[in-house]
Amino acid sequence: MSGASLRDFDRVESALRHAMTLALRFAADGFEVEYKAGGSPVTAADRAIDVLLRDELVEVGDGWLSEESRDDARRLDCSRVWVVDPLDGTSSFVAGRSDYSVSIALLVDRQPVLGAIGSPVNGVTVVGGVGHGVRVEGSPAWRLTGGGDRPRVVMSQSEMERGDARGLDAKLPVQPVGSAAYKLALVAAGFADATWTTWPKHEWDVAAGAALVLAAGGEVWLPRGGHMLWNRARPRFLSFAGARAGMRSAAERFI
């Protein structure tokens, strides 16, 4: 398996910054909200960022998988596939919260080798690749203290509101965050020790974060079991978790 090139890093950093700027522009100017089958929101910002990223990233022979594009089965035969969520946490974006993100991953030979995640409102970017480490700019407005046998955890805002983490915040330092991608980026960047969900996630939710956690020396796994295979015909996992180096066993005690 080959990895990402320095040219890939330069291009993905540029595309990420352009996408973040575009997200902030839409947030300032206003936008209409539509709802997909199933009730999840989608906005003109989601669609515009999807087009921007595809235009800036995809080259001849590359595959493409995005939440906001019609899936093309030809990606299954591609060695290189871009996996994108133009706005991960659209519900947060619509509500005017800061915890949404732009998420970009590059798979090579069905493995996540490059990730770039940016939080436009917080000005946080995390970019990295397997074998290249992780570069972090900015920091979240909050700070979790803990560590060791009390891992600092970022969890889904909606899952906490549903009661999935009932009582967990009495045992651990926990910060609610709306975007699955941003949670994994925060773990890779060292602002948290672990994150997990026992609800289904698509590859575009977690591919970039997985690349970043792995690039930082951490681990990603499926709490409900199964094989972590990428660029599948049905690109979905039934659960997902990530932890900093040495923190998986501490996190698994609470999942």
Of 217, 221, 203, nearest to 106 by C-alpha is: 203
- The average pLDDT across 74-98 equals 96
> How far is C-alpha 29 from the geometric centre of its chain's CA atoms?
25
Q: CATH fold of 153-252, please?
A: D-Maltodextrin-Binding Protein; domain 2 (3.40.190)
Per-residue confidence (pLDDT) for residue 78, from 0 to 100? 98
The pair of structure tokens assigned to 164 is 């999935």
Whether the per-residue pLDDT at 104 is higher than 90: the answer is yes
Rg from Cα positions in the chain? 17
Whether the per-residue pLDDT at 140 is higher than 90: the answer is yes
Per-residue confidence (pLDDT) for residue 2, from 0 to 100? 63
User: CA dist 7 to 13, 93, 239, Å?
Assistant: 10, 31, 33
Of 67, 73, 29, 70, nearest to 49 by C-alpha is: 67
pLDDT in tens, 157-174: 778 777 776 678 778 899
Residues 56 and 19 sit within 8 Å (Cβ to Cβ): no
- The average pLDDT across 198-225 equals 97
Tell me the CATH number of domain 6-137, given options 3.30.540.10, 3.30.980.10, 3.50.50.60, 3.40.50.300.
3.30.540.10
Q: Where are the alpha helices (DSSP H) in 59-196?
A: 90-95, 157-162, 180-189
**To the nearest whole number, what is the mean pLDDT of the chain?**
94
Per-residue confidence (pLDDT) for residue 45, from 0 to 100? 97
Residues 124 and 133 sit within 8 Å (Cβ to Cβ): no
Per-residue confidence (pLDDT) for residue 1, from 0 to 100? 42
- The average pLDDT across 184-213 equals 97
Q: Give domain limits for the chain.
A: 6-137, 153-252
Please identify which residue in the block is written with the tokens 């800036």.
Answer: 56
Backbone φ and ψ for 246, nearest 5 degrees, come out as 80, 0
pLDDT in tens, 29-57: 999 999 998 889 999 999 999 999 999 99
Q: SS3 letters for 36-80?
A: CCCCCEEEHHHHHHHHHHHHHHCCCCCEEEECCCCCCHHHHHCCE
Amino acid at 37: A
Residues 220 and 240 sit within 8 Å (Cβ to Cβ): yes
pLDDT in tens, 61-85: 999 999 999 999 999 999 999 999 9
Pairing relationship of beta strands 194-197 and 240-243 according to DSSP bridges: antiparallel
